[in-house]
Homo-oligomer: A and B are copies of this chain.
Amino acid sequence: MLSITKPTLVLNSDICRGNIRQLARKAREAGVLFRPHFKTHQSAEIGEWFRNEGVSSITVASVTMARYFAQHGWNDITIAFPVNLLEINWINNLAASVHLNLLIESAETARFIASNLTSECGFFIKIDTGYHRTGIEFSKIRLIEEVLKSAAGPLLKFKGFLVHSGNTYHAGSREEISRIQSFTADKLLHLKKHFIYQYPDILLSVGDTPSCSQLPVSEGMDEIRPGNFVFFDIMQFGLGSCALSDIAVALVCPVVAMHLNRREAVIYGGAVHLSKEQTLLLPDPDPVFGLVVPWDESGWDTGTLLGKVKALSQEHGVVSLTQAGCNLKPGDKVAVLPVHSCLTVSAMKRYYTLAGEVIETLTV
């Protein structure tokens, strides 16, 4: 039984396991490899819930995370982040013991890795199909050829092309997400066709949570790598990826002040707990930092909205209250559904299940 007196990250493990089961089934039915991104939960224990659904290949965002999960028995790991040359020693260390894939997007980097590897290691070329954060633009065939040439060597093995369509996070509708997904698949299939004679085993790897949770897997893709779906959050709710009742984590916070003259409450729960991520929930024109719902020791209740977090300081949250929220008083507890669960987890670093068990994450 949970006894909460300060901001506490609570995990509903039934919802979480359900989310895992659903996407594992979708991947199985589509005949693609499910290589979930573990950057969202960052927890060996939650990793086991994936293993129970048949998952054995994972994605992580850093060498540090790869080391952590390798220590916990995962041996097929893709670090889906432009490879950090400064960590070559750790990369070699990992590549000696697990099947490791890196992400490469420039000829210099390919050259450096090819000449400094001491164990066999795979790599994907990161392709940009419109998000414009990282990757080689899909049309730059000559640049891709240059990377492949620079990667030549006995230990660095080309695996395929990888895209993160983060632009789905800015989509205004499911149709737009679908257009982004189709465009990405089309460009990847085009690349595969171009390089297949040279590399007959090219894999195509995709997988942001909005398209993976809302749409069928595109024809011709080999693996999907969603991460956030394990918990979902308000941002995914706003994008149509989940219902509020699919969100598996909430920050439980004490109410410390009521300002009914402006229909506001202040909670102990701020940017250091939730992260300062904001989102829009249309038609509301103002940014939201979390949605506030009732909490009791048996869990939170998404059937009633008490308010929305309208501002965050370091330790304070300012909540704009609904009529139902106006009955709160100092000493009450509320649950805040986070805007971006990955960042909230990273800030809190420890979950409490509804049964009161502690689940640790990677802490560095």
Chain A: residues with CB nearer than 8 A to chain B? 4-6, 39, 61-64, 81-87, 90, 105-106, 108-109, 112, 132-134, 166, 254, 256-259, 262, 266, 268, 271-272, 275-277, 311, 313-316, 318, 329-331, 333, 342-343, 346-347
Going nearest first, the 8 A-B pairs with the smallest beta carbon separation are A85-B331, A82-B256, A5-B86, A272-B346, A82-B257, A276-B276, A61-B315, A86-B254
| Chain B nearest CB, measured from A341 CB (Å) | 11
A268/B62 in contact, CB under 8 A: yes
CB-CB nearest in chain B for A311? B133
Q: When chains A and B are docked, how far (Å) is the Cα of A87 from the Cα of B5?
A: 6
- Residue in A109, A256, A258, A316 with the greatest tally of chain B CB atoms within 10 Å: A256
Q: When chains A and B are docked, how far (Å) is the Cα of A90 from the Cα of B5?
A: 10
Q: When chains A and B are docked, how far (Å) is the Cα of A108 from the Cα of B64?
A: 48
A313/B346 in contact, CB under 8 A: no
For A112, list chain B residues within 8 Å (CB): 330-331
Pick the contact of A6: B6, B87, B132, B268 (CB < 8 A): B87
A257/B106 in contact, CB under 8 A: yes
B262/A343 in contact, CB under 8 A: no
Can you add 17 more A-B contacts, CB < 8 Å, to A5-B90, A6-B62, A133-B311?
A: A5-B86, A6-B63, A6-B64, A82-B256, A86-B331, A109-B257, A132-B262, A133-B313, A133-B316, A134-B256, A134-B257, A134-B316, A271-B343, A272-B343, A272-B346, A275-B275, A276-B343
Secondary structure at the A interface, as helix, strand, loop or mixed, is mixed
| Chain B nearest CB, measured from A166 CB (Å) | 7
Q: When chains A and B are docked, how far (Å) is the Cα of A271 from the Cα of B82?
A: 16
B268/A315 in contact, CB under 8 A: no
For A90, list chain B residues within 8 Å (CB): 5
| Chain B nearest CB, measured from A101 CB (Å) | 16
Q: Given A112-B331, A316-B134, A346-B314, are A84 and B6 neighbors across the interface (CB < 8 Å)?
A: yes
| Chain B nearest CB, measured from A226 CB (Å) | 14
Q: Count the copies.
A: 2
Q: When chains A and B are docked, how far (Å) is the Cα of A105 from the Cα of B132?
A: 48
For A272, list chain B residues within 8 Å (CB): 343, 346-347
B315/A39 in contact, CB under 8 A: yes
For A257, list chain B residues within 8 Å (CB): 82, 105-106, 109, 134
A134/B61 in contact, CB under 8 A: no
For A84, list chain B residues within 8 Å (CB): 5-6, 254, 256, 268
Q: When chains A and B are docked, how far (Å) is the Cα of A257 from the Cα of B330?
A: 49
A81/B277 in contact, CB under 8 A: no
| Chain B nearest CB, measured from A147 CB (Å) | 12
B330/A85 in contact, CB under 8 A: yes
- Residue in A87, A275, A330 with the greatest tally of chain B CB atoms within 10 Å: A330
For A5, list chain B residues within 8 Å (CB): 84, 86-87, 90
